[in-house]
Homo-oligomer: A and B are copies of this chain.
């Protein structure tokens, strides 16, 4: 019998949340099952999270921070390359960290009361794109950033749902496809 004092239970619950999301999708995550996997009673999670939404939000926030760190690491080269790398990183994250991605964008992000720290983490990710766009491109950076974000997000969602496979794009190459598409989108701006 493990003891989850000192904050270990919180970590164990988040791991269980990710495992359940991986196996059954974001909608398949259950507070009771997460508690059971952590070897703890059904009501123990309420010591660490206000409710189920808060637990999912914590996992989401973790995902955004991971994504943000990856984006910082690939943010090199010219403005066009940086923007294309941002999109490729976005899609790559979705197919390699599907559980996190599903929790970040799966039904509970905008409608439920997300935490302030979660909103900040999500905003940071997007700001990284917006700042890069502002550096180089003149015509309405908000519009251009939305276009790039939409393209990356759409490709990521379709890839995660397995709907890009019958289009001849294997998951391993989908990040590269995003890079090419964004480059074309930027080239068409004039």
Contacts and interface: CB of A to CB of B under 8 A. Distances in A.
A169 to B, nearest CB: 6
A184 B188 contact: yes
Contact of A154 (B27, B157, B177, B187): B157
Given A154-B151, A154-B157, A107 B185 contact: no
B142 A167 contact: yes
Interface string A140-168: 00110111011111111110011110011
Interface of A is mostly: helix
Interface residues of A, number: 44
Q: In the complex, which of the residues A109, A151, A158 has the most CB atoms of chain B within 10 Å of its own CB atom?
A: A151
A108 to B, nearest CB: 8
20 contacts: A25-B107, A142-B167, A143-B167, A143-B168, A143-B169, A146-B164, A147-B181, A147-B184, A149-B158, A150-B151, A150-B178, A151-B151, A153-B158, A157-B157, A183-B188, A184-B189, A186-B188, A187-B188, A187-B190, A188-B188
